[in-house]
Structure 1
Amino acid sequence: MSSRLDWQELPADVRKAVEDRTGLVRNAESASVGRNSAFAASLHTTDGPVFCKGGPTDSPQAVMHRNEAEVNPFLPAELAPRLLWRVEQDGWLLLGFEHVSGRHADLSPGSPDLPFVASAIEKIGTVQPPAARRMIADHWEAALANEPANEWAARAPRHMRGATLVHSDLNPLNILVSDTARVVDWAWWRIGAAWIDPAFTVVRLVAEGHSPRQAEEWAAQFEEFRKAPAEAVTAFAASLVCLWGRKFTHTAATEAARTWTEHRKANGPRLR
């Protein structure tokens, strides 16, 4: 999302529908990060602050907002902000969330935020997800079908099946830390193997300055990651390079995925 609309740029009837739920909006502070919402802002209202995000119902991003609305009732209050209301009006879908304070997580080596992040990942793994659909293995298989052949990456989907809720986008911008860590932006949630979110976090740790070995040692505190087949983790790392390499060629996350994959190939299982 290249730019966002301000509060006053939303259609008048849409703003009224929101204020029917929040009270008068005195001030709206646009979010400085994120790319999937045409509108995202902290609304300071007569009834208190609320975080509001959304966009046109005919946009590709609308399904992401519906995904968030679907999974939110299953998430513990100590893990994610509560969805307070949703508005569908004049071709717009807006979601209103509990406003939580916090800063974006610091994932650098030695950061005091790392135990909070680990606790949040543990909580995600205990959530009973919505009905078994949105399987990450199926999504991964379809996405890889559109990429150039890669023998390692092609093995990833077969290892990714499971019944655990997966956030799948645990980058620092999606983790707010205060006296705990709360995870936001659940647009990409899926269901799959319990080691997947720890593995996603390995990439983010490498991007923030950990060596691949250090990042894997951190992720080994999760039993599911520790017990994951070595081939599964290597294939997953290679699949990230395939899926991110074309669209996000020079980002820190893609470079971290490449570094991790090279480490895995040099020190892990061989193709058989």
Structure 2
Amino acid sequence: MRHEWDALPQSVRTAVEQQCGLVLKAEIPEMGCSSEFSATLQLQHGRVFCKGIRADNAAAWMHRNEAAVNPLLPRGLAPRLLWHLEVDGWLMLGFEHAAGRHPDLSPDSDDLAPVAETVAAFQRLPSSAVPNRSISARWSRLPVWRQYAQAPPPDLDPWEAEHLPRLVEMEAAAHELVDGNALLHTDLQPGNFLIEDGEVTVIDWAWASRGAAWVDPAFMVIRLMAAGHSPGSAESWASQIPAWREAPTTAVTAFAATVLGLWAHKTRSAAARPHSAQLTAVARVWARHRVEAA
């Protein structure tokens, strides 16, 4: 549950105002659910974006992760972290306010080209900010297809059931195939892009991880398909990005199969969000496309 500004402890609000000035109004965004508090703070002189979480929350690591990564991100690619503080059990981060609209990723959209240019820039980012956060380690902790092979859920998709041995095999290899030294966002979706005057800003680096540079374009393939692209059209868009063109075919197919398992598992869990089932269905289409073509 997200807190309103006035519901935060007075000590926390005072500490924030000591950093940025008197808060006149707090506007809660429609999107975003990983923070217990997030808002654009209207100040006497300008605006800042603030997010916060209780320090003992299991998700607090994401806020610490974003605070560590932000200083290494090029100016213009992501809003600058202005300050972060911990007070009375709350971890609070204050960022430059980023204006803009979320991009349209549908076929023939004018937003596709600038978004591709921005994603292509990721491969030049250093990974030294996240030495202990790798997508390989994240994936190795949850072998969904192996678990399903041992105890298939009653609602397992027929195609998944038919190809379960192959999915288990690809999942077992995937955590090594996605390993690398690039700094990844790993949560690229329309809500985490802002476009203003043709310039693209990427927000919410909480899930930043180290891995293969082609992984972020691969996540984008699923998001493009969710916006109406065919698998071929989405992969054609990704081919503009050098890291994608260099990705081994087997690695991308293993990625698609593993993402499907992870998202299907989440859809069945208490952590499922309203859009989880739709994204899982899209991921299934892409995984099927790649597995059957292999």
Q: How do 1:206-217 residues align onto structure 2 when only pairs under 5 Å count?
A: 206-217=225-236
**How many correspondences in the alignment?**
266
Query: Is the deviation greater in 133-142 or in 82-91?
Result: 133-142
Work out the CA distance in 2 between the residues paired with 1:248 and 1:76.
Answer: 35
State the Cα distance separating 1:204 from its structure 2 match: 0.5
Is residue 253 from structure 1 mapped to residue 279 from structure 2 by the alignment?
Answer: yes
Q: Which position in structure 2 is the counterpart of 1:167?
A: 185
Q: How do 1:94-105 residues align onto structure 2 when only pairs under 5 Å count?
A: 94-105=92-103
Is residue 116 from structure 1 mapped to residue 135 from structure 2 by the alignment?
Answer: no
Contact 1:105 1:175 in 2 (8 A): yes
Q: Which position in structure 2 is the counterpart of 1:240?
A: 259
SS of the counterpart of 2:93?
A: strand
Instruction: State, as a whole percentage, how many aligned pairs show the same letter.
Output: 48
Work out the CA distance in 1 between the residues paired with 2:237 and 2:221.
Answer: 8
SS of the counterpart of 1:243?
A: helix
TM-score when scaled to structure 1? Answer: 0.94
| Deviation sequence 1:219-247 (CA, Å, 0-9, x none) | 11122212211111111000011111021
Q: How do 1:31-70 residues align onto structure 2 when only pairs under 5 Å count?
A: 31-70=29-68
Q: Which position in structure 2 is the counterpart of 1:196?
A: 215
Q: Which position in structure 2 is the counterpart of 1:125?
A: 123
| Deviation sequence 1:145-182 (CA, Å, 0-9, x none) | 68435222222112111111111010111111112111
SS of the counterpart of 1:158?
A: helix
State the Cα distance separating 1:133 from its structure 2 match: 2.5
Query: Is the deviation greater in 187-196 or in 224-233?
Result: 224-233
Contact 2:120 2:242 in 1 (8 A): no
SS of the counterpart of 1:84?
A: strand
Is residue 81 from structure 1 mapped to residue 99 from structure 2 by the alignment?
Answer: no
Contact 2:123 2:243 in 1 (8 A): no
Is residue 223 from structure 1 mapped to residue 242 from structure 2 by the alignment?
Answer: yes
Work out the CA distance in 2 between the residues paired with 1:115 and 1:78.
Answer: 17
State the Cα distance separating 1:137 from its structure 2 match: 1.2
SS of the counterpart of 1:246?
A: helix
Work out the CA distance in 2 between the residues paired with 1:135 and 1:92.
Answer: 26
Which structure 1 residue ranges, 5 or more long, are not aligned? none
Work out the CA distance in 2 between the residues paired with 1:223 and 1:14.
Answer: 45
Note the aligned Cα RMSD (angstroms).
1.4
Contact 1:137 1:160 in 2 (8 A): yes
State the Cα distance separating 1:252 from its structure 2 match: 2.5
